[in-house]
Structure 1
Amino acid sequence: MAALTSDRNTKRRDGRGLTLPMAGATTIHLGAIVCVNASGFAVPGSASATLKPAGVAFASARNPGSAGAERVKVDKTVACFANSAAADAITLADIGADCYIVDDQTVAKTSATNTRSVAGKVFDVDAEGVWVDFR
C-alpha cells in the first residue's frame, strides 16, 4: 500500500476493552484473568506456557457449545489479583517486571521453568494483592 496523499478517516478504539470469541465448553467468571489460546479463543487463565493475556472478564460468560458460539467482554485496565506464595510471591521490588499466570485469579513471580504464561507487568503490590497492567 502506498503512503497517504490525503487525509484518511482512520477507525479507532480506546484500547480498554474488547469482546472475544470463547473456546467451546468454557466458563469464564466475572473478574477472572482472560487469555487467548493457540486457536485464538478466550479461555480462563491457567498454568500454561501457550496462553496470551487479554485482560480481565468484565462479565461472566459461558459457552457450552462450539468454539466461537459465545463471546466474553474483557477489560484491559490495571486489576488486582491474588499473590502466589513462598518464593514465588511478588513484592514491591517486582514493580515493572513481568508476572505469570498461576490460575484465573492468581499471579506469581516466576514462570515455573517456562510452564506459565506472562500475565502482564506488575503495577503495584499492596495488602489487597498484585496489581497487574495488561496493556
Structure 2
Amino acid sequence: MAALTKDRNTPQRLGEVHNHPVAASSVIFAGSIVVLDSSGNAEAGSTATGLKAVGRADQHVDNGAGSAGDKAIDVRKGTFLFANDGSIDRTDIEATAYIVDDQTVANTDDTGSRSAAGKIVDVDVDGVWVKFD
C-alpha cells in the first residue's frame, strides 16, 4: 500500500467489547475472566502459562461439544471485581494480578505457572478490582 494522497474515512472501534471465537470443548461463564489461547481462541481463565487475558465474559457460551470457532463470545474490557486468593492487599495496587482460575486472582505468577490478568487498581473486602486494557 502507498501513503495517502487524499482524505480517508478510517473505520473506528470503541474498544470496549470484542468478539472472539471460543476454543474447542470450552465452556465460558458470564462474568468470568476470559483469555486467548496460543491459537487466539477464547477460553475461561485458568492456571496456565502463555494465556492472554482479554477481559470479562459478557455472556455464557457453551462450546463443550464444538470445534474451535463453532461459537463466539463477547468480551468486555474495563475494570472488574474478582475474588482474591488471599495474597493480594492494598500494597499490590498498580501491580499485576495473575490468573488462578476464571474468577480468582493472585499477586504472583506462582514461579512462572500463571498468566497475567491485568493491573490491580483497588482491593477491598469484596475482592480485587482488575483493569483489562
TM-score range, shorter chain: over 0.9
- Which of 92, 95, 100 is the equivalent residue of 2:93? 95
Match of 2:122 among 114, 121, 124: 124
1:30 and 1:49 map into 2 onto residues whose CA distance is 23
**What is the count of residue pairs matched by the alignment?**
132
Partner of 2:59: 59
Q: Is 1:77–2:75 an aligned residue pair?
A: no
CA offsets 1:36-70 (integer angstroms, 9 cap, x no match): 00011001000001100010000100112111000
Percent identity among equivalent residues? Answer: 48
2:3 is paired with a residue whose SS is coil
Deviation at 1:25, TM superposition (A): 1.0
Where do 5+ consecutive residues of structure 2 fail to align? none
TM-score, normalized by length of structure 2? 0.95
Structure 1: 5+ residue stretches without partners: none
Separation in 1, partners of 2:71, 2:16: 20
TM-score by length of 1: 0.94
Equivalences for 1:44-55 in 2 at 5 Å?
Answer: 44-55=44-55
Q: Which runs of 4+ in 1 moved over 6 A?
A: none
Which SS does the other structure have where 2:91 is aligned? helix
Structure 1 CA distance, aligned partners of 2:15 and 2:94?
20
Q: In the TM superposition, what is the alpha-carbon distance from 1:80 to its structure 2 partner?
A: 0.4
How far apart are residue 77 of structure 1 and its match? 1.1
In the alignment, what sits opposite 2:8? 8
